[in-house]
Structure formats: structure tokens, C-alpha cells
Structure 1
Amino acid sequence: MSFAACLAVADVFDAVAPQADVALKWPNDPLLNGRKAAGVLLESAGGGGRLDWLAVGVGVNLAHAPPQEPGAWPPTSVAAETGAAPDPETALAHLAAALAGWTARLEADGFAPLRAAWLARAARLGEKVTARLPRETVEGVFTDIDATGALVLTCSGARRRIAAADVFFA
């Protein structure tokens, strides 16, 4: 669902900022012109292999962006990149329709088409990445995302799958 939500935000950006470069930073950051303009967070609960509930949170910087934090990805807003902020209700209508479409595609066809669409918009695919995990830092080339959505890095000739990390580009 995180990938569906990111693709939906990318669709919104295509609609409200058609001249901007839209990309997706693994795992959940839609970018406008190389700067973070939105974020997606998921919360869920369940047990025994079942999902009881899932909440998808999407924040889009339409008119303003938060200040730059040290070490964080540079923020921006649609207004900063285009000169005008879209109407929030219009942006929400685009987002709701796009999320419904990507969710339906996920339910009907599985993750493969979302994976392909996400990779087509992947920021810095083929470039060096630093992934900070709780107990280690891993450097390698961003090679792929696998069938589960995990980041795949090539490190010293070997492929390394990373399910969760903070990602930084050199």
C-alpha cells in the first residue's frame, strides 16, 4: 500500500505540476525536482498472519514546506516548484481517485505492476546509496526493489535485500 500511495501522489504531482520532474525515493518519499514534497506513512495492527486494520497517512506540501533539518532530504512544496499552490480540495480529489486506481490495480494484479510503475519513477536508480539500519550502515548501488518492495543494493558484487532503512544518496 505504501507503493500505491506514493504512485498516487506522483499522479497528483503530474496533474498539478506538469512541468516538474516527479520521482520516488525509496520507500515512501515523493519528490518534485529532486526535493521532498510529500511523505507516506502506514500504521497497522493484526496478529496470527491477519491484518486487522491499516491506516495510510499522506502528507503533501502544497503551499509550504517545513524548514530544512540537518541531514534530512531537502523539502519543497508544489507552490515553491511551480509558483502556485493547487486548491487543497482539488489535490485531494486527484489523490483519492489515483489511490483508488492504484489500490484496485494492486488487488486485481498483485504487486508486480506497481513495482514496475514505481521503478519507472525511482529516484537515483543505478546510483550509490547509503542505507542506515538500526545496527549498521550499508553502502551499495541501488539496483532494484524486489517482489516484496524491499530495497536491493549491489554491494561488492553481491546483492543485498533491505526491508527497512533510512536511505541517503552520495
Structure 2
Amino acid sequence: MTFGPAPAGWPASTERVVLAETDSTLDEAARRFAGLTGPCWILALNQTKARGRRGRAWQHPVGNLAATLVLPDPGPPDRAALRSFTAALALYDALHAVTGRTDPFALKWPNDVLLNGGKLAGILLETLQQKGRPTGLAIGIGVNLAMAPDGGAVEEGALRPVSLAGETAVAVSPEDFLTPLAAAFAGYEAQFAAYGFAPLRQAWLARATRLGCEITARMGNRQETGIFETIDDSGHLILQTAAGRQAIAAAEIYF
């Protein structure tokens, strides 16, 4: 476990914990939450029970980033949910910082980062509770820095998994990547606090994949196909379908 001096560029008033191994950084965040007084990044070099959206297993090959940011006071639920966009923008900026490029990267609604059209990173938000009350937010982030998981493990129709090293030949350790990620997130968080979601929404749309194109949104047993028009002030996907304009709060996106 590492608690030592933060590296150069690390955001002020943000804790940093590096673990050799844990079950899941999201579970670690829940265990540590009561003792935190401010934002804290938890990085694990190995996870034994990593998970993704809807309880799916998340593969964690050695050298990939598995981290969770704990926000003790993220605001009301609708505001807390917008942190998926803050995290996506921070990932985009961190990838730019370590590669010097922006052209191969794009953001996929609601919570993925793409590289050359494949899935490079995912974001998962979980509410943290104290005495039965939702009072905090855990933002889990996984990035395939060194190795892409087995493509045969992804569900039918999902994007192929890719790695940063495999697609760009850029090698960066999880600890080294965490610093520009944390710094970028702190910058967007300050912008969010000062100006609200509007500038983040515009920044996210400027980096979005398939904007203006046909996509399919799957919501359980139901699906809608239409043109990805925009996201609204709540972060909902606005889809122009044959039945009219629809706002979608949560879905799996396919194209």
C-alpha cells in the first residue's frame, strides 16, 4: 500500500491510495468511505473480483488501470450522475497527455472511451451510503493500458476491446497514468462547480462518437433505433426515431 508523497502534478486536497491487490476498487471505496474527508483516488495494481456495469465481470490484465475516485459530497442524485461525463472528459485529456494525440479517441454515451473505434475504457458510478443514506459517490474507471481483454468474452454486438499499447505503441504504467487523470478530473470538477453542466456538455459533444448517426439503444427487452441528435441538460441521450424525439436516461448503445 502506498500513501507517500503525491507525484508532481497531483491535484491539491485529493488523497491517493495505491494497493498491490484488492477485490475491487469499488468495494475498497465502500470500505474506506466513512473515514474520508475529501476526494480520494484508489488504484489497485491487481483486482480479484473486478466488475463492470450490471454486475458483469471486468477483466483486469496486469498493467491495466483499475481505479476508483471517491467523492464524499457529490450533490443530489441528478448532479452526481453527471460525473460520468466529467470522468469521460478527464480520461480523454489524460490520454491526450500521454500520447500527444486526440485523433484516435472518442467518447461513447453513456460511459465508454473509444480508441480507433474499439473500447479502451469504461466508467461505472456507484452510490455510497452512510447509515442507510446516499451521501457519496464512487467513480470506477478501467483502462486497457497494456492489454485488451479476450474479445471472445464480450457480448454479441459489443465493440471490440483494444489497448493503448496495442493500438498506439505507447507504454504507460497505471500509476503514471493516474496523475494526469486525477489532474484532469479536478479541473473539470472545478469547472462543473463554477459553471454547471453546460460547458462540460459542449465539451463532451465535441468528442462524441456517432453524433448525427444512426444508433440503437437497448433498454432491457426494449430497443429504439434512430439518429443520435444530442444529449440534454440532464445528460440524457436524445434520439430522433420514427416515433419522434425521445430522451433516454440509461441504455446500452450499439452501432
TM-score (normalizing by structure 1) = 0.92
Deviation at 1:16, TM superposition (A): 1.8
**Aligned partner (choices 140, 153, 158) of residue 239 of structure 2:** 153
Q: Is residue 59 from structure 1 mapped to residue 145 from structure 2 by the alignment?
A: no
- Say which structure, 1 or 2, has more relative contact order (CA 8 Å, 6+ apart): 1
**Counterpart in 1 of 2:127?**
44
**Counterpart check, 1:28 vs 2:111:** yes
Matched to 2:107, the amino acid is: L
- Name 2:182's counterpart in structure 1: 96
Structure 1 residue 158 displacement after superposition: 2.0
CA distance in 1, matches of 2:246, 2:123: 24
2:99/2:170 contact within 8 Å kept: no
Asked if the contact 2:124/2:139 (under 8 Å) is kept, the reply is: yes
Q: Deviations over 1:47-89 (max 9, x none)?
A: xxx8411001111111011111232211111101111321322
Letter of the structure 2 residue corresponding to residue 87 of structure 1: S
Q: Distance in 1 between matches of 2:94 and 2:136?
A: 26
Could you tell me the percent identity over the aligned residues? 52
Q: State whether residues 17 and 78 of structure 1, in contact with CA within 8 Å, keep that contact through their aligned partners in structure 2.
A: no
Shift of 1:17: 2.4
Query: How far apart are the structure 2 equivalents of 1:124 and 1:112?
Result: 20
Unaligned runs of 5+ in 1: none
**Higher strand proportion, which one?**
1
Stretch deviating more after TM superposition (56-65 or 15-24): 15-24
Q: 2-side partners of 1:51 and 1:118: how far apart?
A: 27
Letter in 2 for 1:78: L
Q: What's 1:8 paired with?
A: 90
Secondary structure of 2:210 counterpart: coil
SS in 2 for 1:141: strand
Structure of greater Rg: 2
RMSD: 1.7
Which of residues 69, 72, 78 is equivalent to 2:164?
Answer: 78
Query: Which is further off, 19-28 or 6-15?
Result: 19-28
Ranges in structure 2 where 5+ consecutive residues have no aligned partner = 1-82
Provide the C-alpha distance between the structure 2 equivalents of 1:71 and 1:18, rounded to a whole number of angstroms.
31
- C-alpha distance in 2 between matches for 1:155 and 1:84: 40
C-alpha distance in 2, partners of 1:51/1:110?
Answer: 22
